[in-house]
Structures are given as structure tokens and as C-alpha cells.
Amino acid sequence: MHQMRSLLICAALAATPAAAGAADHQIVIDQHMFMPSRLTIHPGEEVTWINKDTDPHTVHSDDRGKTFRSAVLDTGQSFSRIFSATGTFGYYCSVHPTMQGTIVVK
């Protein structure tokens, strides 16, 4: 019985997030799309874009990259940003401007 309780406690601890603070979010770039194209997060959380496409891509904020901008990301490369302020942040790929996404921080 003691061993069973220990296993249950270990399982519960494993299911508990290590930090109650910031969470990490991923956006996959593939097939000339950002997936998901709209992501809602909380202030202080980090978003990482990962290029899994065969073509190079960028991540530029809608204000022509003034708020955030990545270098050109080749296949397998990534770009991360922590969003501190609340708001809605549109972004696009400067190589393929029809690729667009939105981060909502609230």
C-alpha cells in the first residue's frame, strides 16, 4: 500500500508543471503557413517559431519589424520572443508576405 501511494504521489508530481510562471509556446512554420496562425498567451510567456518548411522564412512584426524580427530561418532553425506587454501583435514572413499570424497577449 505504501508503495502504491508513493507511485501516485510521483505521478501527481510529474503531472504538475515545474514552474507556475511563464509557459512556452511553439508555432510551427510549414507549408508556407504559421501553425497555429493565432495564439493567445499571458504576459511574460515565450513564443518560439520553428521552421519545418523546406523554404526559408522570417517572423516580422506588422510594424515592419520594429517590435520584433527574426533573421532568415532555414529549415530547423528557430526564433523566440518573450511577450511582456498585453495587446495584439500581428506578424508576417518578409520573404512570403501572404504568410501572416497573430499573437494575443492578455
Higher pLDDT, 16 or 95: 95
What is the domain partition of the chain in residue ranges? 22-105
Q: What is the pLDDT of residues 56-78, one digit of tens each?
A: 999 999 999 999 999 999 999 99
Assign residue 95 a region: left if phi > 0, alpha if psi is -120 to 50, beta otherwise?
alpha
**pLDDT reading at 46 higher than 90:** yes
The closest of 39, 49, 58, 101 to 80, measured between CA atoms, is: 49
Residue 2's pLDDT is what?
Answer: 43
Residue with cell 516580422: 60
CATH of domain 22-105: 2.60.40.420
Residue 55, class by beta-carbon neighbours within 10 Å (0-12 exposed, 13-18 middle, 19+ buried)? middle
